[in-house]
Amino acid sequence: MTSQVMNGNGKAFHDSDVGKPPEPNFAMTTLQTVLDFILFISVSIGYILQDLYYMALGYPEKDLKNDIALVTGGGSGIGRLLATRLSKMGTKVVIWDINQQGINETVDIVQSTGGYCKGYVVDISKKEDVYKAADQVRRDVGDVTLLINNAGVVSGRLLLDTPDHLIERSFNVNVMAHFWTTKAFLPQMIENDCGHIVTIASLAGHVGISKLVDYCASKFAAVGFDEALRLELDVLGHQGVQTTCICPYFIGATGMFDDVNARWVPILKAEDVADRIIKAIKTNEKVAVIPGYIKILLSLKWVFPWGCNSQFLRRLVPDAAPHQVAPVKCAPTPTNDSTNYKINPNTDISNGIGKSAAMLVKRTPSVGERVL
Ligand SMILES: NC(=O)c1ccc[n+]([C@@H]2O[C@H](COP(=O)([O-])OP(=O)(O)OC[C@H]3O[C@@H](n4cnc5c(N)ncnc54)[C@H](O)[C@@H]3O)[C@@H](O)[C@H]2O)c1
Ligand SMILES: *[C@@H]1O[C@H](CO)[C@@H](O)[C@H](O)[C@H]1NC(C)=O
Ligand SMILES: *[C@@H]1O[C@H](CO)[C@@H](O)[C@H](O)[C@H]1NC(C)=O
């Protein structure tokens, strides 16, 4: 009996085709496999030699002066530092942020040094807003050739103290937004065979840390997004489109992890991280772990028993958010509304420690949200 069935792509196939793979010629397939393996080994040796050559003589650096860069979260921290560095090299910079004041400051800083910078208020956690703003940027400035997915948020609470909407926000900003911005700008990059997509992830995208469960999960996702996208572009043969994943340790004075209690590895300076990111972009680096020696520790993660990893991580980061990350400035007025979340009573919200209003996305609580 033969009937037509639709597969996942909507293409019709006959179920009589199922279970009848073409009969291969054994000798031919074996030969094919051996040849394929030899090809793989020789190509790999080629790549290793190329890398050794570059390590000795320095990696070639590309020029970014004809690029149009889009930096999400350009209204503060790393995003702002990237915008100033890029504009100094002649790159046209577009920044997106939810914080109008931060945007104005960045635009002023860049323009005062003679650079080009245009800012837009965009909440990247809303995909319709992202698509609309992307069209606007195309009309106002042109095709984005360097997309830097930098905006990020952190909840900084124990999982069971984290209200649902903050967990959703972590994912919407730290990873989902990468899908929307990439879908908005990748088609032109592919068409022009020229583009670069940069994911600002984190070391928290490679190891788990207490009080950062939602943050780590979203950053692991961002790391996976970058790697799978890179491979997909390779498979499709789009050699002009590069991807880079940036994985820094804690950075001081950006507002995100200012009060983190960490040791052994010194907190990074934001300026150094920005310089390192620019370097990674110019050399088409695939994954930049900052500081670089942490790569060795990361590889050991797969060698040692979990107990060793746990003991190490607990000592490295005794407390990722000692004062918790409390929405100080725009915390909703406590009401008896069941959808409002409680501020943890252990958090002293009057002492000014906590995230700036910029980090909080205005929201309407959804019905049925779990409040903890
Ligand atoms: N600070 C650190 O220690 C550290 C360490 C590793 C990785 N990172 C990552 O580096 C990136 C930059 O961090 P930073 O330290 O500069 O943080 P930051 O808080 O200074 O900057 C983040 C920016 O993103 C903006 N933003 C937040 N939500 C947004 C939204 N929905 N739409 C548009 N913009 C939004 C904020 O307004 C802010 O300007 C983040 O992805 C962060 O996760 C930071
Ligand atoms: C930002 O700049 C624009 C235009 O220059 C101005 O209209 C707006 O009031 C400024 N906003 C803030 C919050 O500074
Ligand atoms: C909230 O509820 C408590 C008891 O249920 C009541 O005493 C209090 O007045 C209410 N507050 C407001 C702002 O309605």
Question: Interior CA angle at 112 toward 110 and 115, to 5°?
Answer: 45
**Residue 120 structure tokens:** 């837009």
* pLDDT recorded at residue 48: 97
Does 205 map to a domain?
A: yes
Query: Which bin fits 342, alpha (ψ -120 to 50), beta or left (φ > 0)?
Result: beta
Contacting residues for 114 by C-beta, under 8 A, at least 6 apart:
none
* Total domains present in the chain: 1
Please report whether residue 331 resides in a domain. no
| CATH number of domain containing 245 | 3.40.50.720
Ligand 1 pocket test, pick from 81, 82, 97, 260 with the greatest ligand atom count within 8 Å of Cβ, gives: 97
282: domain range?
68-316
- pLDDT tens digits, one per residue of 222-247: 999 999 999 999 999 999 999 999 99
The pLDDT of residue 9 is 60
pLDDT digits (tens, 9 = 90+) for 9-26: 655 555 555 666 667 688
Residue 100 Cβ < 6 Å to ligand 2: yes
Cα gap 194→350, rounded to integer Å: 50
Per residue in 44-102, pLDDT (tens digit) is 999 999 999 999 999 999 999 999 999 999 999 999 999 999 999 999 999 999 999 99
Q: Is residue 10 part of a domain?
A: no
Tokens of 73: 């979260």
pLDDT for position 105: 97
Name which residue sits closest to atom 2 of ligand 3, judged by CA. Answer: 336
Q: Is residue 294 part of a domain?
A: yes
Is residue 134 in a domain?
yes
Query: pLDDT value at position 315?
Result: 93
What percent of the chain lies above the pLDDT cut of 70?
A: 81
Residue 253's pLDDT band, with cuts at 50, 70 and 90, is: confident
In the structure, what pLDDT confidence band is assigned to residue 134 with cuts at 50, 70 and 90? very high
pLDDT at 11: 57
Catalytic residue among 54, 116, 215, 293: 215
* 116 flagged as catalytic: no
Counting from 1 in the atom list of ligand 2, the atom nearest the Cα of 100 is: 13
**Domain-located, residue 368:** no
